[in-house]
Structure 1
Amino acid sequence: MTVRDYYPIFIDLSHFNVLIIGGGKIGTKRALTMKKYGANVTVLSLSFSQELQNSNISLIKGDASLIDTNFLQKFDLILTCTNNFELNKKICDLAKKIRKLCNNPTNIKDSNFIVPIFYSDKDLEIAITTRGKSSILAKEILSKVKDLINNDEMRNLLDAMYNVKLLLKEKIKDPSIRYILYHKIYDDEVFRSYASKGNLNKALNRVEEIINEYK
């Protein structure tokens, strides 16, 4: 069986028109989340959850089986979240024919994009997918990754590496040399010791030493 490859990407949903087909549990979750991230969301369904009714999301009461490509043209992303597997497939097939992005949560084979399990904060965004095999396991994996990254050592190192990037851009014009130095600095035990403990000034002093040694 051919396994489809999906290219991972994070998208700014601002000004994207998103269509959610289905107003139940899954459709509601997808709609509220994408609205939170700035998308212009429309939900089409014969019925809507109370959460959707209480939201400011555009709701269209209608029969999804009557959807055609003219209607789908209005949207950038389409998610088929009904409990009718055949209908979900039919709509995704129509969407893909007009080069739209469509996700079918009931069958990943019909989808040309995946909605992953994800974590986001001001510094990090992490997404996990099992390609539709088990969202529960994806959540467990994500939980373990969050335990790994949510500590002072990792956050201090992240902050230090950001400052390293700024310093290298200021001092080194050649991007190929910046690349070499960036990795050399990251692997330097003295720098990492200072950086992970939150001693940014000493960490950056060590960076200056490494830059001068390279010259």
Structure 2
Amino acid sequence: MRILVIGGGKVGSKRALKFSEYGAEVTVLSLAFSEELSKRDDIKKISLDAREVNREFIRNYDIVITATNNPEVNSRICDLCREERKLCNNPTNPSESSFIVPIFYEDEDIGIAVTTMGKSSIMSKVILDRALEALREDPKILLELKVMADVKAMLKRKVADPSIRYVLYQKIFVDREFESFINNGNVNSAMKRAEEIINESSQ
């Protein structure tokens, strides 16, 4: 995936670093680059005025991010992208974007994406922080996530039909005895109850 980020400031740097983190081939076009970008040899940098970007240049990329401090330039580039059937994200004007780049948190268990549709990046961060705070204050949610992942693996081992697996997965999740075990932190009993429900369905 070839990504073009137009603008080497704070917003452009964040976008470029995030796409690069996920394995994309990233190019940043700007007359000046942030310190973070300057240190990255894996991100290609082109010194060029964004006003000189044309359709032929855009054709070399799959996705374009417009992150200059000039709204007119950002809009013109998104117009060119639409003409070339390229995806374009304009952080300053979501209505011109063909996709949204949310603020994102990820660890080994969960991923949370938040967007305020361009209204306020600060509030996006506030909302994300509060969501993470709520998760940390309720460890039962993450415990239930772990147990349901184990239940899913058990179902794949024991039940061949995907449609039956789906029904059983839902049935286990709403089972009161199963839920009670999780609420009490009794993972082994919860898994035994899940196995009972699976075995009962095959009788």
Relative to the length of structure 1, the TM-score reads: 0.86
Query: Aligned partners of 1:51 and 1:136: how far apart in 2?
Result: 21
Check if 1:137 corresponds to 2:123: yes
Match 1:28 to one of 13, 21, 31:
13
**Partner Cα separation in structure 2 for residue 55 and residue 196 of structure 1:** 47
Greater mean alpha carbon deviation, residues 95-104 or residues 196-205: 196-205
Runs of 5+ unmatched residues, structure 2: none
1:63 paired to 2:63 = no
1:166 aligns with 2:153: yes
The runs of at least 4 aligned residues of structure 1 exceeding 4 Å deviation read: none
1:79 aligns with 2:65: yes
Partner of 1:103: 89
Q: Higher helix proportion, which one? A: 2
Deviation at 1:130, TM superposition (A): 1.5
1:189 equivalent in alignment to 2:146 = no
Aligned identity (percent) is: 51
Letter in 1 for 2:8: G
Aligned pair count reads 200
Helix, strand or coil: the match of 2:4?
A: strand
Please list the CA deviations of residues 47-96 of structure 1 after superposition, one character each: whole Å capped at 9, or x if unmatched.
Answer: 11222222222110012112122211111111001011111011111112
Aligned partner letter, 2:84: I
Following TM superposition, by how much is the alpha carbon of 1:195 offset from its aligned partner in structure 2, in angstroms?
Answer: 3.3
Query: Does structure 1 residue 176 correspond to structure 2 residue 163?
Result: yes
Q: Aligned pair in 2 of structure 1 residues 204, 46: CA closer, same or farther (>3 Å)?
A: same
Does residue 118 (structure 1) correspond to residue 66 (structure 2)? The answer is: no
Q: Distance in 2 between matches of 1:26 and 1:138?
A: 14
Change (3 A) 1:64 1:21: same
Q: What RMSD, in angstroms, separates the aligned Cα atoms of the two structures?
A: 1.7
Q: Provide Cα deviations, 1:88-116, integer angstroms capped at 9, x if missing partner.
A: 01111111221111101111111001110
5 Å matches for 1:29-44? 29-44=14-29
- Please give the per-residue CA displacement for 1:138-168, whole angstroms capped at 9, x wherever unaligned: 2222122112323532222111111111111
Which deviates the most, 155-164 or 185-194? Answer: 185-194
User: Could you tell me which amino acid in structure 2 is paired with residue 108 of structure 1?
Assistant: P
- Distance in 2 (CA, whole Å) between partners of 1:138 and 1:174 is 41
Quote how far apart the aligned CAs of 1:196 are. Answer: 4.9
Structure-1 residue corresponding to 2:2: 17
Provide structure 1 residue ranges, at least 5 long, that are not aligned to the other structure.
1-15
